[in-house]
Amino acid sequence: MKGQIVKIISNLYTVNCDGIKYDCHSRGKFRKNNLTPVVGDYVIIDAENNYILEILERKNYLIRPFVANVDQGLLVTSLKSPDFSTNLLDKLLCIMEINDIEPIICLTKMDLLNEDEKEKLLEVVAYYQKIGYKVFNNDNLSAVKKIFKGKTTVFTGQTGAGKSTLLNKLDETLDLETGEISKALGRGKHTTRHVELHELFGGKVLDTPGFSSLDFNDFTKEEVRDSFKEFGEVPCKFHDCMHINERDCNVKARVLSGDILESRYENYKKILDSIGKKW
Ligand SMILES: Nc1nc2c(ncn2[C@@H]2O[C@H](COP(=O)(O)OP(=O)(O)O)[C@@H](O)[C@H]2O)c(=O)[nH]1
Ligand SMILES: [Mg+2]
Ligand SMILES: [Zn+2]
């Protein structure tokens, strides 16, 4: 029988087969493709003996959190406390692009900005819209609700950015623990310690503990370059230009003219530098 893994707790795998959930065991790595099952995996199970027999081919796969078959990522991005970071945003966009996951930016904590801060940040945000990214605000719930239909969405973003708060507002039955509540009560309701796939607004949502670290080791420099989509809009003299030291580089020219956001270019160089290193 075919199903999808929706939860893993120690070595018990909950597999949803057309709405019926089976708690299954697995024998660790699968010899056929040397894979370990993760949440989001489509699998074939032996429903009588509660065993996972096979992992079906993945569309994509993320590490930390370990999840598979993700269509889109909701990048929950705080504008203040924690402060807005183009560096984190560009890293997440890069990871999403390379894994063929559509990034959608959801801003939070706009209410904490004064007028000056708001004006400055909205200019930066407008750049991301200009290069083609969808941007929502967390107070516009009716718009956010529409993005889930028919898709598997992973929530990502810094601790404290407002992921759980947003999920709770979207679906009150989830009742996830948020920063304030845990402080006030000093004990947990439901903390995200494991990954779980929830059904929400006609789609599926992966509620994860967040990215504990961002690892670019598996990426090539060319993949990172191509993930900065707007860099390729105007070709450079050399078709394989990395936009670092090459002559007649249109990316560098467009950074100087202000057509490309300087922080995007700086963050691009930082990611290139970090390849092969842990951070
Ligand atoms: N002012 C303000 N606070 C928010 C907003 N969204 C979340 N918070 C608060 O930020 C804190 C962290 O939120 P939480 O959802 O736990 O963040 P998570 O770690 O990403 O799940 C909590 O105290 C929330 O009440 C927002 O849009 N504005
Ligand atoms: Mg949370
Ligand atoms: Zn170039």
- 49 backbone dihedrals φ, ψ, rounded to 5°: -105, 5
What CA–CA distance (Å, rounded) separates 279 from 111?
Answer: 32
Helix axes 86-98, 262-274, angle to 10 degrees: 60
By alpha-carbon position, which residue is closest to atom 1 of ligand 1? Answer: 109
Share of the chain above pLDDT 70, in %: 89
Task: Tell me if the bond preceding 235 is cis, omega within 30° of 0.
Answer: no
Q: Is 141 in the pocket of ligand 1 (CB under 6 A)?
A: no
Q: Is 156 in the pocket of ligand 1 (CB under 6 A)?
A: no
The amino acid occupying position 252 is: K
Nearest atom within ligand 1 for CA of residue 138: 27
C-alpha 234 to ligand 3 mean position (Å): 9
Average pLDDT estimate for 202-219: 72
Nearest atom within ligand 1 for CA of residue 76: 20
C-alpha 209 to ligand 1 mean position (Å): 15
Write down the mean pLDDT value for the chain: 89
Per-residue model confidence as pLDDT tens digits over 216-243 = 667 899 999 999 999 999 999 999 999 9
C-alpha 142 to ligand 3 mean position (Å): 41
Q: Considering only CA atoms, which of 88, 108, 125, 213 is closest in space to residue 168? A: 108
Collapsing DSSP to helix, strand or coil, 208 comes out as coil
pTM (2 decimals)? 0.89
pLDDT value at residue 209: 61
Collapsing DSSP to helix, strand or coil, 107 comes out as strand
Each domain of the chain, given as residue ranges in start order, spans 2-58, 67-207, 228-274
User: Of the ligands numbered here, which is closest to the C-alpha atom of 254?
Assistant: 3
Per-residue model confidence as pLDDT tens digits over 26-49 = 977 777 778 899 999 999 999 999
What CA–CA distance (Å, rounded) separates 59 from 68?
Answer: 7
Nearest atom within ligand 1 for CA of residue 192: 21
CATH classification for the domain delimited by 67-207, as one of 3.40.50.1580, 3.90.230.10, 3.40.50.300, 3.40.50.2300:
3.40.50.300
Q: Are 204 and 186 in contact (CB under 8 A)?
A: no
Distance of CA 253 to the CA centre of its chain: 31
By alpha-carbon position, which residue is closest to atom 14 of ligand 1? Answer: 162
- Comparing 78-82, 199-203, 242-246, the range with the smallest average pLDDT is 199-203
What CA–CA distance (Å, rounded) separates 231 from 168?
Answer: 37
C-alpha 96 to ligand 3 mean position (Å): 22
User: Of the ligands numbered here, which is closest to the C-alpha atom of 179?
Assistant: 1
Q: pLDDT higher for 198 or 63?
A: 198
Non-local CB neighbours of 116 within 8 Å, separated by 6+ positions: none
Superfamily of chain region 228-274: Probable gtpase engc; domain 3 (1.10.40.50)
Using CA atoms of 175, 179, 185, 189 in order, give the dihedral in degrees to the nearest 10.
Answer: 30
17, two tokens? 């087969």
CA atoms within 13 A on the CB side of 254: 16
Q: Are 22 and 11 in contact (CB under 8 A)?
A: no
Q: Is 106 in the pocket of ligand 1 (CB under 6 A)?
A: no
pLDDT value at residue 217: 67
What CA–CA distance (Å, rounded) separates 279 from 272?
Answer: 12
DSSP notation for 251-264: HHHHHHTTSS-HHH
Tell me the CATH architecture of domain 2-58. Beta Barrel (2.40)
Q: Is 267 in the pocket of ligand 1 (CB under 6 A)?
A: no
DSSP structural state of residue 84? P
